[in-house]
């Protein structure tokens, strides 16, 4: 296991603790043992184990009261609890389940049964965590998208309403200006929808990394930002030769488009943009886009590639959704993203890919 599941075993019987410790550790789990309910509560809150095996009959705080307090504490209420008991009364089993336990194991301990129950409930808990994380992300993402779409859609309504009421009085220049505003707002809305579709493909699509033609990918990306580059009078410098790399061409094209668009919009006046690459150790290549913009302070840099669950709180003006998708793409391809910047000295946005094999 790369990440060990942590099991807290609470039992006042040293023989039971010894048997369970040896069995669980031998199965690859990280095992914590304790003999009292009071101290088990403190350990559970501090360590947050993945599962608790809890004896019912203990001196002082018994298992039922320990479980009740675990479930009352917001920091420990979601930890699965399995009771261990020699009791055969069905009433006690029902009581434990009503208190929030997920299962019962009867003594004497049968190691194979314990391990089977553990695997089942750890799997269920992991699935619950994944679902909780996805729900948090979905809520934050919906908030972010609604925020981003509200402005262009609001502009469309405003422009259209003004045209409807004042079209007859407008001179040709004013008319063209309003129509241009409608077109720009519509393009912005379409761009956000395109980002949503891209995110859906990144989340669901399984791709095999393969050698990609970086010159071809960059050529396509440059064509897509050509109108914006002309509008901002951007100067873009591109190397003639590029190293081979492993990735997924359409996704990497989106990364370049995102980096280039930001460099054009937030570069200097006019924007001077340089594309390049740096070979790194261990067969990795760092690709980057450098601009002559105002640069970013350390706080802004830490917020740029925020997870969707934090976007609504950590948004950097002009960035956010696109860079979060870029991060998702590179995570899926086994690479990294980042930015190097200093106020007054521009920014260098980069991503890494495994080096491919040049076809000489």
Domain assignment present for residue 23? The answer is yes
Domain assignment present for residue 102? The answer is yes
Instruction: Report the alpha-carbon distance of residue 211 to residue 354 in Å, rounded.
Output: 10
Instruction: Report the alpha-carbon distance of residue 207 to residue 72 in Å, rounded.
Output: 44
Residue 87 has pLDDT above 80, yes or no: no
Pair (200, 214) in one structural domain: no
Q: Of 204, 219, 237, which residue constitutes the final position of a domain?
A: 204
Instruction: Report the alpha-carbon distance of residue 69 to residue 9 in Å, rounded.
Output: 16
Least confident of 66-75, 248-257, 303-312: 303-312
Pair (232, 341) in one structural domain: yes
Q: Retrieve residue 227's tokens.
A: 């109108």
Domain assignment present for residue 1? The answer is no
Model confidence band, residue 165 (pLDDT cutoffs 50, 70, 90): confident
Partners of 195 in beta bridges:
none
pLDDT of residue 360: 44
pTM, two decimal places: 0.57
Mean pLDDT throughout 11-26?
92
Pair (196, 251) in one structural domain: no
Domain assignment present for residue 58? The answer is yes
pLDDT of residue 316: 37
Pair (174, 216) in one structural domain: no
pLDDT of residue 2: 45
Q: What is the CATH number of the domain that holds 142?
A: 1.10.287.130
DSSP 34-90: ES-HHHHHHHHHHH--SEEEEES--SSS-HHHHHHHHHHSTTTTTS-EEEEE----H
Pair (232, 332) in one structural domain: yes
Pair (41, 155) in one structural domain: no
Residue 314 has pLDDT above 50, yes or no: no
Domain assignment present for residue 68? The answer is yes
Domain assignment present for residue 232? The answer is yes
Instruction: Report the alpha-carbon distance of residue 186 to residue 158 in Å, rounded.
Output: 12
149 by DSSP, 3-state: which? Answer: helix
Mean pLDDT throughout 343-348?
91
State how many domains the chain has. Answer: 3
Pair (85, 173) in one structural domain: no
Residue 217 has pLDDT above 90, yes or no: yes
Domain of 228, in residue numbers: 210-354
Q: What is the CATH number of the domain that holds 217?
A: 3.30.565.10
| 4 against 48, higher pLDDT | 48
Report whether 212 contacts 242 (CB < 8 A). no
């Amino acid at each position: 296991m790369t990440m060990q599941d942590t099991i807290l075993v609470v039992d006042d019987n040293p023989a039971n603790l010894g048997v369970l410790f040896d069995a669980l550790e031998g199965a690859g789990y990280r095992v914590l043992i304790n003999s009292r309910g009071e101290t088990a509560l403190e350990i559970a809150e501090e360590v947050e184990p993945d599962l608790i095996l809890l004896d019912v009959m203990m001196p002082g705080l018994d298992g039922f009261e320990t479980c009740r307090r675990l479930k009352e504490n917001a920091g420990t209420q979601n930890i699965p609890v399995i009771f261990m008991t020699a009791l055969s009364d069905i009433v006690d089993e029902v009581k434990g389940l009503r208190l929030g336990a997920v299962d019962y194991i009867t003594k004497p301990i049968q190691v194979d049964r314990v391990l089977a129950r553990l695997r089942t409930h750890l799997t269920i808990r992991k699935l619950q965590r994944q679902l909780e994380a996805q729900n948090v992300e979905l809520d934050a993402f919906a908030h972010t998208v609604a925020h981003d779409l509200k402005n262009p859609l609001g502009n469309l309504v405003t422009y259209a309403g003004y045209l409807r009421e004042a079209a007859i009085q407008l001179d040709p220049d004013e008319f063209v200006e309003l129509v241009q505003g409608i077109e720009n707002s519509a393009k912005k809305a379409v761009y956000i929808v395109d980002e949503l579709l891209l995110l859906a493909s990144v989340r669901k699509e399984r791709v095999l990394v393969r050698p990609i033609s970086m010159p071809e990918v960059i050529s396509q990306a440059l064509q897509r930002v050509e109108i914006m580059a002309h509008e901002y009078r951007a100067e873009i410098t591109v190397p003639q030769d590029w190293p081979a790399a492993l990735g997924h061409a359409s996704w990497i094209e989106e990364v370049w488009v995102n980096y280039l668009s930001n460099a054009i919009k937030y570069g200097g006046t006019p924007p001077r943009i340089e594309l390049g690459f740096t070979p790194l150790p261990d067969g990795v290549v760092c690709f980057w886009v450098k601009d002559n913009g105002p640069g970013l302070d350390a706080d802004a840099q830490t917020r740029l590639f925020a997870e969707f669950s934090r976007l609504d709180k950590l948004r950097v003006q002009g960035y956010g959704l696109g860079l979060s998708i870029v991060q998702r793409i590179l995570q899926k391809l086994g690479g990294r993203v980042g930015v190097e910047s200093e106020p007054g000295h521009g920014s260098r946005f980069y991503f890494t890919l495994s080096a491919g094999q040049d076809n000489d």
